C-alpha cells in the first residue's frame, strides 16, 4: 500500500520551520529567470504567491475567472485576520495561537503545519501595513484588535468589516506592480479546466478563455492551484456565485489526493433564506458576536407567536429569553467556535424555538451593547454590516434584533499537500482554501485570511524552490506535446457531450437539487443511513444531469451556462466524495457531526483511537470507487482533549 | 411588507463588441420584492432557457456588494435607484407593481461592451498597475507598530480604500472621467506614511495612464460621488489634485 509522506522536518516543534529553511534547496537569481510558474487564482493565496514569486525573479503566469484579480472571493471576508503579536498584552503567543488553532480544529490538523502558520502570522501583519492596508487603529496611532470565536485573547486585526477586501487589495497591489513590471502575465476571464502532466510531473494547464470559449494551452515548470474551496456544492452558501471546486477536482482526477472532503464549515451568523429564488447567502461577520447576544424565546408559545407575526422580539421580557450559548458555554459564551454555535442554533430550531416565519432563525441582539457602549460606538464597529443587513432584510438592527441562521461557508478539506504544500503529483502545489492543511476539522474565525496569506507570502515562495532547484536544467516545454493535445481533446469531447444533451433542465435547477440533497443528508447533522441515501440520490442526479441538462448557446463562445455546467458536473462528484468520506468517518469532530457519535450533552464525540488520521482519497477512474489512504496524525507535542468551551 | 409584483424589463442585448445592440423587452410576473435585482435576472434567464432562448449575459459574483463585479445601469443610474448599494444589493422592493425597468451596461469610452450587459473594465487595473501600490517586496518589513499612524488618517485612508473598482463613477460621469477611482487610491496611500515615499511618482503615473486610456477630465459635477456604492467622497479628488500639483512643482 502507498505510504503517505508528509515530509515533516525533524526536531522540536518551534524549530522545524527554521530548520527546514536553513537546509532546503534554493534557486539562484539567474536560474529563477529561466523558470515559469503557473498560479491559478488571484485570491489572498494566489495573488500573494504570484506577487512574491515574481519579486523573487520567477516568471509567473496568473489566471483568474473574474474580469480582474481584485474580485476574487477573498474580498468578501469581513471580520479580520489573526496574528500572535500580543500587542494587547493579554497573554498571546505563537504557541497559544498554535494551540487554539489545533484545538479549534478538533485535533485533526498537523501540528507542524499549524505551528508554522502561527509562527509566520506576525510577518503577515507587518507586510500588510507596509503595503498601506488601513487597519483599524487606536487614538495613540497603534493597531487595534478584537476577539474572535475560540480564543480568549484579542488577536484579530481588522479594517472595519472589510478586512478581506483590504488584505486582498494589498496583495492585488503587489501583484499589479509585478504585472506592470512584466514579471507576471495575467490571464483574466480564464478558467483552468485541466492540469497537464508530462512524465508524471505537473507541467501545465489547459484553460478556457471565458470570452471566446476557446481552449488554450499553457506550460510551466510548476503549477500552483489557489482556486479556493468547494462549498458551492451546496448551491446556497456564502461563497461567490463563481466559486467552484473544478480546478482542484481536475488535480484529483490527475492523481492528486483529495483530503478530508467531509470537513466543511457551516457559519452560524448568516442572513436566513428568504425564498426559493434565493441565489446565495450573506454572511454577517463573526465579529458581531463580540457584542451581539444570541437568543431564542424560552417558551415555545412565544416562538410560535413570533413566527405568526403576532409578537415582536423587543416585546419579550429578559426572563423569557434563552441566551442558549451563554447558558451552555459559560466560559466562551457567544464566542464559541463556529461549529459549536451552528449546531446549537440548529438544536434550538429543531426543538421548535426558531424564529422568522420559517422557524429557521435565531436572534442576534445588540440592545445590550447599544445600552452599554452607545449607538455611536456600535455603529463605528459594525456600521457597514448593519447597513448590509438592513438593505437585504428591510429591518433596522439598531432597533430590532438581527435574525441569523447557519450557512455553508468554508471548506477545511481540499487537495492533500505535504509540509511543502506540494500535492501527491510532483510539481503541483495547492495553497489557501484549495488545500486541506491547517484547519483540521473546523476553522477558527479570522484564520482563513491568515492561512491564505501565510501560504502565499511566506511558505510557498520558500518550499517551491526546494522542488524547482532540481528543474533548472529543464527547458521550457512546448505545448504541442501529445500530453497537451490529449488533455485538450478530452475537454473538447466532454464539452461537446454536454452541449449535445439538449435536455429539459437548466443547470441551476439541477444545482439546486444537488444543494437540497447535500443540505439534507451531508449538512450539519449526518448519519449512516442519510449518507447512504445521499450517495444513491447523487448517483441518480448525476445521471439526470448527463442526460437531461439544457445548455443554450455555443460551445466555442462566451457561454455562462456552459461554464456553470462544467462546474456542476464536478460539484456532483465532489458531493459524492464528501458523502463517502463522511460515511467512513465514524466519529464526530469539528464541522463533521455524526448524530450516532455524541456525548449525552449533545457535544461532538471524537474517536482518537480509530480516526486520528487524514483521509486521503485517490481517484481510480470514472465510475470506480476511490481508494482511501490514511495519513496518521501523531500528536507529539500536545495532549488531545475533548474540546471544552464550558469552563 | 414585501409582496409579489409584475414588471416589464427592457434589457440591452448585444452579441459582441462590434455588433449592433438593441433593447429587448421581457415581462415577468409574480417577482417577490424580497428578491435581489440579480435574482430577478436569474428568474428571467431561467425563463429564457426554458423557452430555448439565449440568456442575458451579465457580470456578478459575490452578491454581497464587495467584489465590484456587477455593473448595471438601471433606469438611468449605475447600480439602480437605491443609494449606497451595488446592483447585487438592490432589492425588488425598490420597484413598483407594473413598472418598466430599463437595464443597460456601463456606458463609457473606457469600458467597451463585451456582450449584453458585460463590459471590459481592465483599464482600471492598468491604472493601478501604473502606480497604485507601495513598492515593497515580501519580507524584511519592520514591526507593524513601529510607525504610529493618527487614527484620523487611518480612518480617512480606509474611507478611500473602500472603493470596489466597479466603474460606476466613470459610467455616471458625463465626461467619462475616472478621477474618483484614481483619487481614492492616491488618497489612501498619500494619507499613510508607508505611501508617502513615492506619493509624487504615483499621482503622476496614475493620472498619465488614466489620460492615455481615454478617460475624460473632471468638471466637478459630483455625479460620481452620488452614484458611488461605497460613498467615496469627491474630497479625494481635491486631494488628488493637490498631490498632482505638488508633484508637478517638484519636477
Domains of chain A, earliest start first: 267-408 (3.90.700.10), 482-626 (1.20.58.100)
CATH of the domain at B45: 3.10.20.30
Q: Name the residue in chain B with its Cα closest to that of A505.
A: B50
Overall number of domains in chain B: 2
Do B64 and B34 belong together in one domain?
Answer: yes
Give the confidence band of A609 by pLDDT, cuts at 50, 70, 90.
very high
Cβ contact B61–A241 (<8 Å): yes
Would strands A59-64 and A184-188 be described as parallel, antiparallel, or unpaired?
Answer: parallel
Domain boundary among B115, B142, B159: B115
Domain boundary among B95, B115, B135: B115
> Can you give the pLDDT at residue A1?
56
Interface of B with A in 42-61 (CB under 8 A): 42-43, 46, 48-50, 52-55, 57, 59-61
Do B128 and B49 belong together in one domain?
Answer: no
Do B145 and B31 belong together in one domain?
Answer: no
Rounded distance, CA B47 to CA B65, Å?
A: 26
Q: Which residues are CB-neighbours of A224 under 8 A, at least 6 positions away? A: A37, A38, A39, A40, A46, A49, A429, A430, A431, A460, A464
> Can you give the pLDDT at residue A601?
86
Q: Are A283 and A75 in contact (CB under 8 A)?
A: no
> Can you give the pLDDT at residue A270?
95
Whether chain A has a CB inside 8 Å of the CB on B187: the answer is: no
Do B80 and B181 belong together in one domain?
Answer: no
Reported as a single tens digit per residue, the pLDDT across A269-315 is: 999 998 888 999 999 888 899 999 999 999 999 999 999 999 999 99
Q: Are B86 and B230 in contact (CB under 8 A)?
A: no
Reported as a single tens digit per residue, the pLDDT across A223-256 is: 999 999 999 999 999 999 999 999 999 999 999 9
Longest dimension (CA), chain A: 76
Residue B215 lies in domain = 122-250
Q: Which residues are CB-neighbours of A213 under 8 A, at least 6 positions away? A: A554, A555, A556, A557, A558, A559, A562
Residue A158 has pLDDT above 60, yes or no: yes
Interface of B with A in 75-104 (CB under 8 A): 82, 84-85, 89, 91, 93
- Rounded mean pLDDT of A148-172? 93
Q: Which residues of chain B have pLDDT under 50?
A: none
- Rounded mean pLDDT of A422-441? 97
Cβ contacts (< 8 Å) between B142 and chain A: which residues? 126, 130
Do B148 and B76 belong together in one domain?
Answer: no
Q: pLDDT above 70 covers what percent of chain A?
A: 100
| Cα distances (Å, whole numbers) of residue A209 to A221, A457, A482, A485, A507 | 22, 28, 21, 17, 20
Rounded distance, CA A426 to CA A424, Å?
A: 6
Do B142 and B244 belong together in one domain?
Answer: yes
Give the confidence band of A384 by pLDDT, cuts at 50, 70, 90.
confident
The interface predicted TM-score (ipTM) is: 0.98
- Closest partner residue to A553 (CB to CB) among B54, B130, B149 is B54
CA distance B174 to chain A (A): 24
Give the confidence band of A641 by pLDDT, cuts at 50, 70, 90.
confident
Lookup result for grid cell 446565495: A280
Rounded distance, CA A11 to CA B209, Å?
A: 53
Rounded distance, CA B228 to CA B170, Å?
A: 10
Query: Per mean pLDDT, which range of A203-212, A253-262, A595-604, A607-616 is the poorest?
Result: A595-604
Domain boundary among B73, B91, B115: B115
Do B163 and B104 belong together in one domain?
Answer: no
Do B198 and B243 belong together in one domain?
Answer: yes
Do B14 and B103 belong together in one domain?
Answer: yes
> Can you give the pLDDT at residue A49?
98
| Cα distances (Å, whole numbers) of residue B211 to A173, B109, B190, B215 | 20, 12, 21, 6
Do B92 and B35 belong together in one domain?
Answer: yes
Cβ contact A159–B54 (<8 Å): no
CATH of the domain at B145: 1.10.1060.10
Where in B47-136 does DSSP place strands (E)?
Answer: 72-74, 77-78, 100-105, 113-115, 118-119
Write out the three cell numbers for A284. 454577517
Q: pLDDT above 90 covers what percent of chain A?
A: 91
Using a cut of 0.90, tell me whether the model's pTM lies above it.
yes
Q: Are A455 and A251 in contact (CB under 8 A)?
A: no
Rounded distance, CA A273 to CA A573, Å?
A: 26
Do B207 and B147 belong together in one domain?
Answer: yes
The closest alpha carbon to A253, from A574, A575, A630, belongs to A574
Do B132 and B106 belong together in one domain?
Answer: no
- Interhelix angle A163-180/A111-131, rounded to 10 degrees, is 70
Amino acid at each position: 500500500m502507498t505510504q503517505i509522506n508528509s515530509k515533516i522536518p525533524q526536531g522540536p516543534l518551534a524549530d522545524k520551520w527554521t530548520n527546514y529553511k536553513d537546509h532546503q534547496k534554493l534557486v539562484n537569481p539567474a536560474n529563477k529567470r529561466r523558470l515559469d510558474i503557473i498560479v491559478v487564482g488571484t485570491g489572498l493565496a494566489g495573488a500573494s504567491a504570484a506577487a512574491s514569486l515574481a519579486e523573487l525573479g520567477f516568471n509567473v503566469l496568473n489566471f483568474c475567472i473574474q474580469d480582474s484579480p481584485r474580485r476574487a472571493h477573498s474580498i468578501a471576508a469581513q471580520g479580520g485576520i489573526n496574528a500572535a503579536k500580543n500587542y494587547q498584552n493579554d497573554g498571546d503567543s505563537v504557541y497559544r495561537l498554535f494551540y487554539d488553532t489545533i484545538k479549534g480544529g478538533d485535533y485533526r490538523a498537523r501540528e507542524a503545519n499549524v505551528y508554522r502558520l502561527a509562527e509566520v502570522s506576525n510577518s503577515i501583519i507587518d507586510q500588510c501595513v507596509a503595503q498601506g492596508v488601513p487597519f483599524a487603529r487606536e487614538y495613540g496611532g497603534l493597531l487595534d484588535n478584537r476577539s474572535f470565536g475560540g480564543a480568549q485573547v484579542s488577536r484579530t486585526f481588522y479594517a472595519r468589516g472589510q478586512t478581506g477586501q483590504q488584505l486582498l487589495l494589498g496583495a492585488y497591489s503587489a501583484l499589479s506592480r509585478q504585472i506592470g513590471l512584466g514579471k507576471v502575465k495575467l490571464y483574466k476571464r480564464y478558467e483552468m479546466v485541466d492540469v497537464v502532466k508530462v512524465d508524471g510531473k505537473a507541467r501545465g494547464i489547459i484553460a478556457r478563455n471565458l470570452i471566446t470559449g476557446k481552449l488554450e494551452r499553457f506550460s510551466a515548470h510548476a503549477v500552483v492551484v489557489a482556486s479556493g474551496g468547494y462549498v458551492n456544492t451546496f448551491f446556497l452558501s456564502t461563497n461567490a456565485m463563481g466559486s467552484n471546486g473544478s480546478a482542484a477536482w481536475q488535480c484529483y482526477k490527475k492523481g492528486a489526493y483529495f483530503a478530508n472532503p467531509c470537513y466543511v464549515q457551516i457559519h452560524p451568523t448568516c442572513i436566513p433564506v428568504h425564498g426559493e429564488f434565493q441565489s446565495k447567502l450573506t454572511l454577517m461577520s463573526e465579529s458581531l458576536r463580540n457584542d451581539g447576544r444570541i437568543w431564542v424565546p424560552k417558551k415555545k408559545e412565544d416562538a410560535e407567536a413570533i413566527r405568526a407575526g403576532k409578537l415582536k422580539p423587543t416585546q419579550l421580557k429578559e426572563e423569557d429569553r434563552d441566551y442558549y450559548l451563554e447558558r451552555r458555554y459559560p466560559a466562551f459564551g457567544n464566542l464559541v467556535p463556529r461549529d459549536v454555535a451552528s449546531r446549537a442554533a440548529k438544536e434550538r430550531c429543531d426543538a421548535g424555538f426558531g424564529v422568522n416565519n420559517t422557524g429557521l432563525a435565531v436572534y442576534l441582539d445588540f440592545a445590550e451593547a447599544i445600552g452599554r457602549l452607545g449607538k455611536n460606538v456600535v455603529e463605528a464597529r459594525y456600521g457597514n454590516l448593519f447597513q448590509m443587513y438592513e438593505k437585504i432584510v428591510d429591518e433596522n438592527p439598531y432597533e430590532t434584533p438581527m435574525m441569523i441562521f447557519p450557512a455553508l461557508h468554508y471548506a477545511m478539506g481540499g487537495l492533500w499537500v505535504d509540509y511543502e504544500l506540494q500535492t501527491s503529483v510532483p510539481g503541483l502545489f495547492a495553497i489557501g482554501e484549495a488545500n486541506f492543511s491547517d484547519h483540521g476539522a473546523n476553522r477558527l474565525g479570522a484564520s482563513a485570511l491568515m492561512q491564505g496569506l501565510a501560504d502565499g507570502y511566506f511558505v510557498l515562495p520558500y518550499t517551491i524552490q526546494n522542488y524547482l532547484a532540481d528543474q533548472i536544467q529543464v527547458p521550457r516545454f512546448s505545448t504541442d506535446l501529445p500530453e497537451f493535445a490529449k488533455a485538450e481533446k478530452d475537454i473538447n469531447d466532454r464539452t461537446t457531450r454536454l452541449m449535445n444533451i439538449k435536455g429539459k433542465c437548466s443547470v441551476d435547477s439541477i444545482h439546486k437539487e444537488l444543494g437540497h440533497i447535500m443540505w439534507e443528508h451531508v449538512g450539519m447533522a449526518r448519519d449512516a443511513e442519510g449518507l447512504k441515501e445521499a450517495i444513491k440520490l447523487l448517483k441518480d442526479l448525476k445521471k439526470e444531469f448527463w442526460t437531461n441538462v439544457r445548455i443554450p448557446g455555443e460551445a466555442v463562445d462566451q457561454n455562462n451556462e456552459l461554464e456553470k455546467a462544467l462546474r456542476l458536473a464536478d460539484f456532483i462528484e465532489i458531493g459524492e466524495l464528501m458523502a463517502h468520506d463522511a460515511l467512513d468517518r465514524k466519529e464526530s469532530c469539528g464541522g463533521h457531526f455524526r448524530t450516532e457519535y455524541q456525548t449525552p450533552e449533545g457535544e461532538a464525540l471524537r474517536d482518537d483511537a480509530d480516526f486520528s488520521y487524514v483521509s486521503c482519497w485517490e481517484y481510480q477512474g470514472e465510475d470506480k470507487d476511490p481508494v482511501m489512504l490514511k495519513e496518521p496524525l501523531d500528536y507529539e507535542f500536545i495532549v488531545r482533549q475533548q474540546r471544552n468551551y464550558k469552563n | 411588507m414585501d409582496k409579489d409584483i409584475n414588471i416589464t424589463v427592457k434589457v440591452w442585448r448585444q452579441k459582441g463588441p462590434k455588433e449592433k445592440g438593441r433593447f429587448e423587452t421581457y415581462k415577468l410576473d409574480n417577482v417577490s420584492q424580497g428578491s435581489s435585482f440579480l435574482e430577478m435576472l436569474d428568474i428571467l434567464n431561467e425563463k429564457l432557457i426554458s423557452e430555448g432562448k439565449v440568456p442575458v449575459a451579465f457580470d456578478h459574483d459575490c452578491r454581497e456588494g464587495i467584489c465590484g463585479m456587477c455593473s448595471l445601469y438601471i433606469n438611468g443610474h449605475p447600480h439602480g435607484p437605491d443609494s449606497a448599494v451595488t446592483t447585487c444589493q438592490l432589492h425588488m422592493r425598490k420597484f413598483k407593481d407594473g413598472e418598466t425597468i430599463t437595464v443597460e451596461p456601463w456606458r463609457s469610452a473606457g469600458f467597451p461592451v463585451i456582450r449584453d450587459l458585460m463590459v471590459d473594465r481592465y483599464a482600471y487595473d492598468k491604472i493601478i498597475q501604473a502606480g497604485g501600490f507601495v513598492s515593497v517586496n515580501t519580507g524584511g518589513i519592520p514591526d507593524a507598530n513601529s510607525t504610529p499612524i493618527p487614527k484620523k488618517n487611518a480612518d480617512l485612508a480606509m474611507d478611500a480604500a473602500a472603493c470596489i473598482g466597479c466603474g460606476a463613477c466613470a459610467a455616471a460621469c458625463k465626461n467619462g472621467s475616472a478621477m474618483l477611482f484614481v483619487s481614492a487610491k492616491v488618497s489612501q496611500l498619500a494619507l499613510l506614511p508607508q505611501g508617502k515615499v513615492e506619493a509624487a511618482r504615483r499621482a503622476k503615473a496614475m493620472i498619465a495612464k488614466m489620460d492615455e486610456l481615454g478617460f475624460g477630465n473632471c468638471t466637478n459635477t459630483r455625479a460620481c460621488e452620488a452614484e458611488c456604492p461605497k460613498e467615496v467622497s469627491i474630497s479625494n479628488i481635491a486631494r488628488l489634485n493637490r498631490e498632482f500639483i505638488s508633484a508637478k512643482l517638484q519636477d
